[in-house]
Structure 1
Amino acid sequence: MTDRPRKQPGPDHPITITPTGKRVVVTVAGKVVADTGDALSLREATYPAVQYVPLADVDQTLLERTGTRTYCPYKGEASYYSITAGGERSVDAIWEYQAPYDAVAQIKDHVAFYPDRVDEIKIG
């Protein structure tokens, strides 16, 4: 991993993490996959905000870890889960940074969901 570029958030690529302050509920195939009042909103550059949900507030019996890995120079290496109830649509639907870089350390032990791989991410 040492040959991968590692970048710091800054004015050209800002990243902010704040408490969402509202209940976040994620559903797939009629099942509640996550339900929390402790989500974090990560805003990165011009991308839409992403809700990071504590893994402890996710029904882990619905998850299956996959071998997929991706890399972000600002956050580190991500690993993935599929949501078994969602079938093919929900393959690699969830990602997490198990050892996030210091600038985004708050997202450790949290996961995020691809909106198009779940039925709904309800905030409020």
Structure 2
Amino acid sequence: MVKATWNGAVIAESDATVVVEGNHYFPREAVDPAVLSDSATTTVCPWKGTAHYHSITVDGKTNTDAAWYYSDPKSAASEIKDRIAFWRGVVVG
């Protein structure tokens, strides 16, 4: 079982992650929706497409743009469609 934790809380847990470029992409239903808030931030990967971001809030602390996902990835990255990955201090393991 792979877990993502931040600020002392488990924010995602799944045994069905997809690993791309060393990042675990969790099924959206495996991520606690209560900790996510939408962000206007986007970035573009040449082979995956446009990434959208969520900020994470746990116990009143916010980690801005610490989660990302591809709602409409390019065909080479179709396996990560609507899956969520983490960075910026979120521990995944």
TM-score, normalised to structure 1, is 0.70
What's the secondary structure of 1:103's corresponding residue? helix
Larger Rg: 1
The gaps in structure 1 that reach 5 residues or longer are 1-22, 44-48
Question: Which is bigger in relative contact order (C-alpha 8 A, separation at least 6)?
Answer: 2
Q: Is the 8 A contact 1:67 1:79 kept in 2?
A: yes
2:13 corresponds in structure 1 to 35
Deviations 1:47-70 (A, max 9, x none): xx1111111100011100110011
- Map 1:58-77 → 2, pairs under 5 A: 58-77=31-50
| 1:109 paired to 2:87 | no
Aligned equivalents of 2:80, 2:64: Cα separation in 1: 22
Q: Which amino acid aligns with 1:97?
A: Y
The number of residues matched between the two structures is 92
Aligned equivalents of 2:7, 2:68: Cα separation in 1: 19
1:95 corresponds in structure 2 to 68
The gaps in structure 2 that reach 5 residues or longer are none
Deviations 1:30-78 (A, max 9, x none): 21100000001113xxxxx111111110001110011001111111111
TM-score, normalised to structure 2, is 0.92
Task: State the percentage of identical aligned residues.
Answer: 36
Q: Comparing both structures, which one devotes a greater share of its residues to strand?
A: 2
Q: Which amino acid aligns with 1:62?
A: V
Q: Comparing both structures, which one devotes a greater share of its residues to helix?
A: 1
RMSD: 1.3
